[in-house]
Chain A
Amino acid sequence: MGEFKGRSIISIKDFSREDLDLILNRAAHIKANPSNYSLIMKGKVLASLFFEPSTRTNLSFNSAMEKLGGSVIGFTGTSGTSVKKGESLADTVKTIDTYCDVIAMRHPLEGSARHVSEVVGVPVINGGDGANQHPTQTMLDLFTMREYKGNLNGLNVCLAGDLKYGRTVHSLAAALSLYNNTKFVFWAPDSLRMPSEVRKDLDANGVQYEEVERVEQLPADLDFVYATRIQAERFPDPIEYERAKNAYNISKKDLKFIKDAKVMHPLPRVNELSYDFDDTPNAIYFQQLANGIPVRQALMCLTTGVI
């Protein structure tokens, strides 16, 4: 029982490299030995509170808990909940706090998970708060990269697509900066460049990055291309979205530029990642999403203190 018991998982910036390594190591053990963990959460309850739509994250948390022998309560979307009656977020979660041992949540307001972690007694795992953080996605992304490369030092990573509003790329940039000699390429249209907060943190940590707008400009030695959807729901201005939505695409014909880099994507995809790319050896996004299970299992076990 270590230092994670009772700790909430809110922002990737709350974690040191040692913390991340501990989580990834535990996730690797769970993935390799699932039967050792099949009853470890018996009698424990996960409250899965998804205030906005989710397929992968929601079902991944629920499945992760069930496979550990625990149970799940919760909701997806707010219809039928007291939120529709005007109840505050704090009152909603304080009620649910009494029913569960751990909360996994997704909410459209930024900072919502941090606020909830301050008002409840159980650990809170942030499944996405608006355009801010999605730390478990980052952790499964790191886990996947480590599976393919052996370790997380010295990686050359291209972050592509919606770098302005994309919480996955913000988190991933922050996390990879903790490891040695990471180099980034930011591939995005001009209107969706990486925001200043992220750049400032990279500059402060001496992390190198360059920016490109076309696939032809990608360097030849990339380890990973992390593609993201240009997200209509995050754009405050629909006209800005219309201008940007078809800004880039990865398909089989781009392999000559991507070379040996593995291509990841947090999914869902729309038209930025063509289906003809799926059967290339570079495409690892389905293996990536499957890693959500052991990573979320590790987090729930660590934060509830069962391991």
Chain B
Amino acid sequence: MNALPDDEKFRKIAAIRNGTVIDHIPAGRVLEVVRVLKGDVMGKSMSIATNVDSESSGRKDLLKIENRELSDTEANKIAILAPNATVSTIRDYKVTDKKGVKLPEFIVNIVKCGNPKCITRNEPGVNSKFSVVNDKVLELRCFYCEKDMNEAQIQKRI
């Protein structure tokens, strides 16, 4: 039986031939990332690692999506969940593009509004929607009730 090469012995998920790798997702958040991207990656084969070692942040999550390259718009949807994520495009096992993520103009159906009287918390079919008030010190404003949330409030409501 042939032994695995040394680097494969330590790799938690196999390399993908073509697709997208999202790295540096905060530990414990990868399933939320999958939920947010669900519509964009429906039917694609995905591999998930959670709570793996990270040199920069101690622990991280990782997501590999086979045979699907994410556009900037699609990738930026996860910025509120994983602000330091890197999104790499893989072609024939090689990284052909690698970029960070940026908060989009509107954040839809990811963060729940903190206002109990907001229409998004009381009526069916009204998805939450926020604009970014301040991206340096993260603050979001609800598109509907116009109430603001600071970073601590946002993280509790993802």
Please report A residues at the B interface, Cβ cutoff 8 Å: 11, 13, 88-90, 108-112, 114-115, 129-133, 196-197, 200, 236
Q: Is B117 an interface residue (CB 8 A)?
A: yes
Given contacts A197-B141, A236-B116, 5 further A-B pairs with CB under 8 A are A109-B117, A110-B115, A110-B146, A131-B117, A132-B145
Contact of B126 among A11, A108, A115, A131 (CB under 8 A): A115
Contacts between the two chains (Cβ within 8 Å), count = 58
A197–B148 touching, CB < 8 Å: yes
The chain B residue with its CB closest to the CB of A133 is B146
How many residues on B have C-beta within 8 angstroms of the other chain's C-beta atoms? 20
A88–B144 touching, CB < 8 Å: no
Q: Which residues of B contact A197 (CB under 8 A)?
A: 141, 146-148
Contact of B123 among A109, A130, A196, A200 (CB under 8 A): A109
A97 to B119, CA, bound (A): 19
Q: Which residues of B contact A130 (CB under 8 A)?
A: 117, 145
CB distance from A74 to the nearest CB of B (A): 20
A236 to B142, CA, bound (A): 20
B126–A196 touching, CB < 8 Å: no
A114–B148 touching, CB < 8 Å: no
B144–A110 touching, CB < 8 Å: yes
Contact of B144 among A115, A196, A200, A236 (CB under 8 A): A115
A108–B117 touching, CB < 8 Å: yes
Q: Is B122 an interface residue (CB 8 A)?
A: yes
A112 to B133, CA, bound (A): 21
Q: Which residues of A contact B147 (CB under 8 A)?
A: 110, 197
CB distance from B106 to the nearest CB of A (A): 13
A200 to B146, CA, bound (A): 13
Q: Is B39 an interface residue (CB 8 A)?
A: no
B122–A109 touching, CB < 8 Å: yes
A110–B148 touching, CB < 8 Å: no
Within 8 A of A (CB), among B120-154: 120, 122-126, 133, 141-148
Q: Ordered nearest first, which 4 A-B pairs have the shortest CB separation?
A: A111-B144, A110-B145, A111-B119, A111-B145
CB distance from B41 to the nearest CB of A (A): 27
Q: Which residues of A contact B146 (CB under 8 A)?
A: 11, 13, 110-111, 132-133, 197
A200–B148 touching, CB < 8 Å: yes
A115–B123 touching, CB < 8 Å: yes
A111–B148 touching, CB < 8 Å: no
7 A-B contacts (beta carbon < 8 Å): A110-B118, A110-B146, A110-B147, A111-B143, A112-B123, A131-B117, A197-B146
CB distance from A144 to the nearest CB of B (A): 24
Q: Which residues of A contact B143 (CB under 8 A)?
A: 111, 114
The chain A residue with its CB closest to the CB of B119 is A111
A123 to B42, CA, bound (A): 37
A129 to B120, CA, bound (A): 13
Most chain B CB inside 10 Å of its own CB: which residue of A11, A109, A112, A236? A109
A114–B123 touching, CB < 8 Å: no
A236 to B116, CA, bound (A): 10
Given A114-B143, A197-B146, are A109 and B125 also a contact pair (CB < 8 Å)?
no
Q: Which residues of A contact B124 (CB under 8 A)?
A: 88
Q: Which residues of A contact B123 (CB under 8 A)?
A: 88-90, 109, 112, 115
Q: Which residues of B contact A133 (CB under 8 A)?
A: 146
B118–A111 touching, CB < 8 Å: yes
Q: Which residues of A contact B148 (CB under 8 A)?
A: 196-197, 200
A209 to B116, CA, bound (A): 30
A131 to B146, CA, bound (A): 10
A293 to B144, CA, bound (A): 27
